[in-house]
Amino acid sequence: MAAPRPLIAGNWKMFGLGGAVDEARQVAAALLVKPAKARVAICAPSTLVERLARAVEGSSLIVGGQDIHAEPSGAYTGDISAEMLADAGAKMVILAHSERRSVYGETDAVAAAKAKAALRAGLEPIVCVGETLAERQAGRTLEVICGQVKGSLPQELAGRAFALAYEPVWAIGTGLTPTLAQIEEAHVALRQAMVDALGEAGRAAPILYGGSVKPDNAAEILQVRDVGGALVGGASLKAEDFLKIVRAAG
Ligand code: PEP
């Protein structure tokens, strides 16, 4: 099976007021002038999704969200559904980011339910997994992340567009990154876990690396075996930095 097209996705987290739309506009314009080898997405706060979608219409830049509720509608004050996100113009959604897992107690079962909800609404999910520093130091990295794959990827993903993101919790927003060998070890194990979970369909989805990807380390990370793109937090907020990472993918 041919390698899936790489995906470079920005995670704006809870950053960005109206003025941030300009950054997305700049990324979209640059992609129009010079198309990227990778697919490129910005996953914005819900309040900006519709504005971003309008601003980048006609370009290849994909607009996504960062979370959804698993139900299509209901009495869930403060939440938004997959259908609402799609209705606002999103095509993609990050699920089970480590900040959702650690701050909001999201389990693998919740991640799997949200992944099904994303598919229901036609959104492409990016499902995140990653070990904590304590788990890595205890030598449990592969057991933890492969277990997360098993619990978080529902069968319904087979044959559908989705991505997995490997994000070591200790590397997110810290400036620390695993060695290239550690990234490779994790991605190779994750690929096998995806095949175990979904059969041959587990080879079709890219595995993104996330955790302190910057313009100066993107190229070396992106050439590691089984790294199929990047999930980028801080460095996605400025178009100039994000575009350098996009270009590092070719
Ligand atoms: C993230 O938010 O998913 C992330 C990887 O953040 P950063 O790139 O800032 O470490």
Q: pLDDT by residue (tens digit) across 15-35?
A: 999 999 999 999 999 999 999
The answer to the question of residue 162 being in a domain is yes
* Cross-strand pairs, 231: 9, 210
Question: 56 lies in a domain?
Answer: yes
In a domain? residue 134: yes
Domain-embedded: residue 164: yes
pLDDT (0 to 100) of residue 125: 98
For residue 3, what pLDDT is reported? Answer: 79
CB 116 within 8 A of CB 154: yes
CA 47 to chain centre: 19
Q: Is residue 72 part of a domain?
A: yes
Does the Cβ of 129 fall within 6 Å of ligand 1?
no
Determine if ligand 1 sits within 6 Å of the CB of residue 11: yes
Residue 205's contacts (CB-CB under 8 Å, 6 or more residues apart) are: 4, 157, 161, 162, 163, 164, 194, 228
Q: Mean pLDDT score of the chain, rounded to an integer?
A: 97
CATH number of the domain encompassing residue 143: 3.20.20.70
Q: What is the mean pLDDT of residues 241-249?
A: 97
Domain count, the chain: 1
- Residue 207: predicted pLDDT: 98
Q: How far is CA 104 from CA 22, 49, 110, 123, 125, in A?
A: 31, 22, 11, 22, 19
Are 111 and 147 a contacting pair, CB within 8 Å?
Answer: no
Residue that is written with structure tokens 């997994």 in the block: 129
Tens of pLDDT, residue by residue over 111-138, are 999 999 999 999 999 999 999 999 999 9
Residue 250 pLDDT class (50, 70, 90 cuts): confident
- The protein residue whose alpha carbon is closest to atom 7 in ligand 1 is 233
Mean of the pLDDT values across residues 148-157?
Answer: 98
Ligand 1 close to Cβ of residue 8 (< 6 A)? no
Q: Is residue 1, in this structure, part of any structural domain at all?
A: no
How many other β-carbons are positioned within 10 Å of the β-carbon of residue 223?
12
Query: Does residue 113 lie in a domain region?
Result: yes
Residues 81-114: pLDDT tens digits?
999 999 999 999 999 999 999 999 999 999 999 9
Range of the domain at 101: 7-248
Q: Report the nearest atom of ligand 1 relative to the CA of 234.
A: 9
CA–centroid distance, 217 to ligand 1, in Å, is 13
Residue 182: φ, ψ to 5°: -70, -40
Among residues of the chain, what percentage have pLDDT more than 70? Answer: 100
pLDDT of 2 above 80: no
How far, in Å, from the CA of 167 to the mean position of ligand 1?
Answer: 8
So which residues are the catalytic ones?
Answer: 97, 167
Take atom 3 of ligand 1 and give the residue whose Cα is closest. 233
Please say if the pLDDT value at position 1 is more than 80. Answer: no
> Measured from the CB, is residue 212 less than 6 Å from ligand 1?
yes
Query: Does the pLDDT value for residue 184 go beyond 70?
Result: yes
Distance 46 CA to ligand 1 centre (A): 18
